[in-house]
Chain A
Amino acid sequence: DGGITQSPKYLFRKEGQNVTLSCEQNLNHDAMYWYRQDPGQGLRLIYYSQIVNDFQKGDIAEGYSVSREKKESFPLTVTSAQKNPTAFYLCASSTQGGDTEAFFGQGTRLTVV
C-alpha cells in the first residue's frame, strides 16, 4: 500500500544526545515536510524539501537538521542544540506545487529523559 511511514513511534533521548527520526514515503512525492507539535498546540514547520538534495528552513529550524539524499526519505535529526526537544513530530509529503493535499505519517513522540 502507498503511504508515509514514520519510525519509531516512541523515542527516548538522554540530554546531550542527537537522535534521528525516520520518514519514508512510497507515494512518489517530491515535497516532504517536518512539523513539531507541542501538547495542546498547532503544527510548526521545522524544515521542508521540494526536491531531492534541496531543503529549506521552516519557522523553527534551530537545533534540527535534515537531509534529502533520496526522494523517498527525509530523516530529521534532533541535535543537542535543541533545548526543548520533547514533542510530537510529524512528517508529511505532497506533490511539488499543484493543488493536492499533503499526507501525514502517524508521528513520533520524542521524550527527553
Chain B
Amino acid sequence: GESVGLHLPTLSVQEGDNSIINCAYSNSASDYFIWYKQESGKGPQFIIDIRSNMDKRQGQRVTVLLNKTVKHLSLQIAATQPGDSAVYFCAERRDKLVFGAGTILRVKS
C-alpha cells in the first residue's frame, strides 16, 4: 500500500549473517509478486519474483516466501555481503504494479 509520510525501516545485519526482509501486501487478488533492490540515486533492480500459486522460490543466495493467508512476503538473503546494502521493495501486480513501503538494509563489516 501507500508509504506516504512514512520513513523506511532499517535492518542492520553483520556481514555473513542471513537477512530477512518482510513485506505486507494489500490486494488479496494480486497474483504476482516481485522483490526489487534500489541503490542510492538509481532505479530499482529486479531480484526475484513469485507467482501466487507458489509459496517459496529460491534464487542465488535469495529466497522469497509467500503467505497468502496473511498477505505477507519475505525476502531471505543468505550470507549477507556489503554489496547487499540498499533499499529493498516488494511489489504486487494485478492490473498495475504497486510497491510496498520498503526496507533499508545496512550490512556491517
Contact = CB atoms under 8 A, between A and B. Distances in A.
Interface centre among A50, A102, A103 (most CB of B within 10 A): A102
Given A42-B102, A44-B4, A99-B32, A56 B96 contact: yes
Interface residues of B, number: 29
B43 A44 contact: no
Interface stretch (A13-21, A69-77, A104-112): A104-112
B64 interface: no
A41 interface: yes
Contacts of B101: 41-42
A94 B97 contact: yes
B41 interface: yes
Given A42-B3, A44-B2, A104 B49 contact: no
B47 to A, nearest CB: 9
A41 B49 contact: no
A42 B8 contact: yes
Interface of A: 6, 33, 35, 40-45, 48, 50, 56, 58-59, 88, 90, 92, 94, 99, 101-107, 109
Given A42-B101, A88-B41, A107-B41, 15 more contacts: A33-B96, A41-B7, A42-B3, A43-B44, A44-B3, A44-B99, A45-B96, A45-B97, A45-B98, A45-B99, A48-B96, A50-B95, A90-B44, A101-B46, A101-B49
